[in-house]
């Protein structure tokens, strides 16, 4: 039961992290009447190069395919080719090669003519027994570039005649690893040689391996499609990748939650209070309206005019100023029969300076101009 659970877990993990798609390139969009070189970066992903249209002008094409390093090579399998077959392939042709810096160091023989699609011979249970290459040999369909991590492809396709069918070409280009171990959980050796292709390419309906025995045969599909050995269960790279992916997903989830909470629950705005608090200072020169109640602790500066009723109510007696201050200032109000009132006469010098001030007032002649 444990073994089955581990296998299912690895299959799900492998499918999620190593899903492989073929890159598709159409010569109609890559090539033109001029033989300009187009560079295609395959990385380690297989590609399908096709041509299937009725061209009205001659097409010249020069493709340069590149791999990530010289640990890899190219395996090309011609699935379909319907080109004009003339002596020496003088009109239509397909040719492979490689270059050194800017100089072409090698070119293969030109290929032309017709190559029909391969046929699968299957048994009663649906399993593949063999592959039928038709009138062409296996070697006529295959090309291997193992000396360089770059490969050049030249193609020339003339327009078909008036009553001739469309010309057609389909190439399967598979990057292979030159060396791999039995415990490599990404790559697996081809049945006929030591070249290694990605494990998910086995039994995917496309021929990727060169040699007599192919990766599509049933007996090689049943031999551990993704498990290279027991060491995969404790493979450190798989564990590291799973942990990193989990941490990144968790961090993204937490950040999204915080943004959502902040957006849905904005902080309430604090409105300024209109009620004066204790210790409020009334600016100098402020006129207090009649009937205003000044809060406790309010400091009224010199020069503030306060209505009569707010200062001293009728019938209230002020204490003797001399008892409070040895140098009292001039009285603001006088007492009458009906209560305190404002005197119409200006205060005297002693009232202004205070009773304790003994210096004589300055003479008018001493007053500065």
CB 212 within 8 A of CB 192: yes
Residue 17, helix vs strand vs coil: helix
Closest by alpha carbon to 299, among 285, 284, 312, 280? Answer: 280
CA distance 369 to 362: 14
The reported pLDDT for the residue numbered 356 is 67
The reported pLDDT for the residue numbered 227 is 45
The reported pLDDT for the residue numbered 335 is 60
Both structure tokens of 42: 């395959």
CB 81 within 8 A of CB 169: yes
CB 107 within 8 A of CB 129: no
Exposure string of 103-133, with b = 16+ CB inside 10 Å and e = fewer, is eeeeeeeebbbebeebeeeeeeeeebeeeeb
DSSP class per residue in 276-323: PPTTPBPPTTPBPPTTPPPPTT-B--TT-B--HHHH--TT--PPPHHH
Residue 119, helix vs strand vs coil: strand
pLDDT digits (tens, 9 = 90+) for 227-260: 444 344 445 667 888 899 999 999 999 999 888 8
- CA count, 13 A, side-chain hemisphere, 96: 19
CA distance 314 to 240: 91
The reported pLDDT for the residue numbered 296 is 52
Q: What's the whole-model pTM score? A: 0.57
The reported pLDDT for the residue numbered 355 is 66
CA distance 18 to 43: 14
The reported pLDDT for the residue numbered 13 is 45
Q: CA angle at residue 196 from 195 to 202, to 5 degrees?
A: 120
Point out the residues of the chain with pLDDT beneath 70: 1-20, 222-237, 266-344, 355-358, 364-369
Location of structure tokens 């010199």: 302
pLDDT digits (tens, 9 = 90+) for 279-329: 455 555 555 555 554 555 454 555 554 444 444 455 555 555 444 444 544
Both structure tokens of 227: 């498990």
Q: CA angle at residue 169 from 163 to 172, to 5 degrees?
A: 165
The reported pLDDT for the residue numbered 230 is 38
For residue 25, what are the CA distances in angstroms to 40, 173, 228, 348?
Answer: 9, 11, 32, 112
């Amino acid at each position: 039961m444990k073994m089955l659970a581990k296998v299912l877990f690895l299959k799900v993990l492998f499918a999620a992290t190593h899903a492989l798609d073929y890159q598709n390139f159409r010569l109609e969009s890559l090539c033109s009447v001029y033989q300009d070189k187009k560079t295609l970066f395959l990385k380690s992903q297989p590609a399908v190069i096709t041509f299937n249209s009725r061209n009205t002008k001659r097409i010249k094409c020069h493709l340069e395919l590149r791999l990530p390093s010289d640990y890899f090579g190219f395996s090309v399998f011609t699935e379909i080719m319907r080109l004009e077959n003339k002596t020496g392939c003088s009109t239509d042709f397909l040719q492979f090669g490689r270059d050194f810096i800017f100089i072409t160091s090698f070119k293969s023989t030109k290929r032309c003519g017709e190559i029909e699609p391969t046929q699968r011979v299957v048994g009663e249970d649906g399993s593949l027994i063999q592959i039928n290459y038709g009138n062409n040999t296996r070697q006529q369909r295959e090309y291997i570039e193992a000396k360089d991590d770059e490969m050049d492809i030249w193609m020339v396709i003339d327009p078909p005649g008036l009553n001739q069918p469309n010309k057609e070409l389909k190439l399967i280009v598979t990057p292979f690893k030159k060396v791999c171990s039995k415990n490599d959980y990404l790559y697996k050796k081809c049945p006929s040689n030591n070249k290694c292709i990605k494990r998910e390419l086995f039994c995917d309906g496309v021929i990727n391996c060169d040699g007599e025995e192919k990766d599509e045969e049933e007996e090689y599909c049943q031999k551990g499609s993704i498990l290279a050995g027991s060491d995969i269960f404790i493979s450190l790279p798989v564990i590291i990748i799973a942990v990193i992916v989990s941490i990144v997903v968790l961090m993204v989830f937490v950040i999204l939650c915080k943004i959502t909470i902040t957006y849905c629950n904005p902080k309430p705005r604090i409105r300024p209070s209109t009620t004066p608090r204790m210790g409020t200072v009334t600016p100098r020169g402020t006129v207090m309206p009649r009937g205003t109640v000044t809060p406790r602790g309010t400091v009224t500066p010199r020069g503030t005019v306060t209505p009569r009723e707010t200062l001293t109510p009728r019938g209230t007696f002020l204490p003797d100023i001399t008892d409070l201050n040895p140098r009292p200032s001039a009285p603001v109000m006088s007492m009458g029969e009906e209560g305190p009132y404002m005197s119409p006469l200006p205060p005297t010098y002693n009232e202004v300076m205070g009773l304790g001030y003994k210096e004589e007032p300055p003479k008018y002649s001493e007053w500065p101009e």
